[in-house]
C-alpha cells in the first residue's frame, strides 16, 4: 500500500509553533523550563520548540537529550539501536518543569522508560509530554500534554516521520505493512527501533 502523506512541512511547523505556545502558557513566572528530546527525531523537535519559545518570549529554556534505551522493558523482544548520550543542562533538572519531546506516541513504553531515566537523574517539579503525532494504541496509562496531530491508525500501519535535519525532506506519512518487511535504510518508524512500541 502506498504511503499517504498526512503532514507536510508547513503543517509540522504550525504544529510545533502551537505546541510551543501551549508550553509557554503552562509555565508560571519564575519556572525553570527544561526541554528534553528523546532520540532520534525527538531531539530535532525539542531543538525547534526551544528555538520558537526563545523567539517569542523571555522565558529561559534549557535544552537536553534523554536516551531511554537501557530503561526499556522490551529489550528482550525488540532489537534496538545503540544507546546515545544523555545530555542534561548544566543546572540539572531538580525543581524544573521538564517537557519530554518525542515524534510519535504509540504504546507509551518509551515514555515509561523516559520517566525511569529521569528518576535516576533528578527530581523535576513537573514532567510534561509533547509529541508531534499521537497514534493511539496505548498499553500504559500515559497521555501527552501537547500534541501536534492525533492520528488514529491500525497496528498494522506505520507512521513515518521525516525531518529535514535527518532525512533531507520533511513530512509525516502513514502506510500499511510491507510484504517485504521493514526497510533497513529508511527513516526510523514510530520508535527507537523497528517493532518497538513508544
3-state secondary structure the chain: CCCEEEEEHHHHHHHHHHHHHHHHHHCCCCCCEEEEECCCHHHHHHHHHHHHHHHHCCCCEEEEECCCHHHCCCCCCCCCCCCCCCECCCCCCCCCEEEEEEEEECCCHHHHHHHHHHHHHCCCCEEEEEEEEECCCCCCCCCCCEEEEECCCCCCCEEEEECHHHHCCCEEEEECCCCCCCCCCCCCECCCCCCCCC
Structural domains of the chain, ranges and CATH numbers in brackets: 10-154 (3.40.50.2020)
Give the span between the Cα atoms of 70 and 10, in whole angstroms: 35
The predicted structure's pLDDT at residue 82 = 67
The predicted structure's pLDDT at residue 77 = 64
The predicted structure's pLDDT at residue 159 = 95
The predicted structure's pLDDT at residue 126 = 96
Non-local (6+) Cβ contacts of 40 within 8 A are 81, 84, 166, 188, 192
Helix axes 9-26, 41-56, angle to 10 degrees: 60
The predicted structure's pLDDT at residue 71 = 81
The predicted structure's pLDDT at residue 69 = 87
Per-residue pLDDT of the chain (198 residues; tens, 9 = 90+): 678 999 999 999 999 999 999 999 999 988 999 999 999 999 999 999 999 999 999 999 999 999 998 887 666 666 556 677 899 999 999 999 999 999 999 999 999 999 999 999 999 999 999 999 999 999 999 999 999 999 999 999 999 999 999 999 999 999 986 444 433 233 434 443 333 345
Q: How many CB atoms lie within 10 A of CB 113?
A: 23
Give the span between the Cα atoms of 12 and 170, in whole angstroms: 8
The predicted structure's pLDDT at residue 78 = 64
The predicted structure's pLDDT at residue 181 = 41
Cα angle at 136 between 134 and 142, to 5 degrees?
Answer: 80
Cell 531511554 appears where?
Answer: 68
Report whether 138 contacts 154 (CB < 8 A). no
Amino acid at each position: 500500500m502506498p504511503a499517504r502523506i498526512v503532514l507536510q512541512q508547513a503543517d509540522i511547523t504550525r504544529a510545533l509553533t502551537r505546541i510551543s505556545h501551549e508550553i509557554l502558557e503552562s509555565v508560571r513566572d519564575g519556572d525553570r523550563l527544561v526541554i528534553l528530546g528523546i532520540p532520534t527525531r525527538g531531539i530535532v523537535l525539542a531543538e525547534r520548540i526551544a528555538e520558537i519559545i526563545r523567539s517569542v518570549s523571555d522565558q529561559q529554556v534549557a535544552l537536553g537529550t534523554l536516551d531511554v534505551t537501557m530503561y526499556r522493558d522490551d529489550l528482550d523482544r525488540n532489537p534496538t539501536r545503540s544507546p546515545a548520550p544523555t545530555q542534561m543542562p548544566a543546572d540539572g533538572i531538580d525543581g524544573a518543569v521538564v517537557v519530554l519531546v518525542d515524534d510519535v506516541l504509540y504504546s507509551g513504553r518509551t515514555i515509561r522508560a523516559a520517566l525511569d531515566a529521569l528518576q535516576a537523574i533528578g527530581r523535576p517539579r513537573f514532567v510534561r509530554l509533547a509529541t508531534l503525532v499521537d497514534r493511539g494504541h496505548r498499553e500504559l496509562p500515559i497521555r501527552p500534554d501537547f500534541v501536534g496531530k492525533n492520528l488514529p491508525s491500525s497496528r498494522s500501519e506505520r507512521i513515518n516521520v521525516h525531518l529535514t535535519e535527518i532525512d533531507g525532506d520533511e513530512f509525516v506519512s502513514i502506510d500499511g505493512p510491507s510484504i517485504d518487511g521493514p526497510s533497513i535504510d529508511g527513516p526510523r518508524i514510530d520508535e527507537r527501533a523497528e517493532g518497538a512500541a513508544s
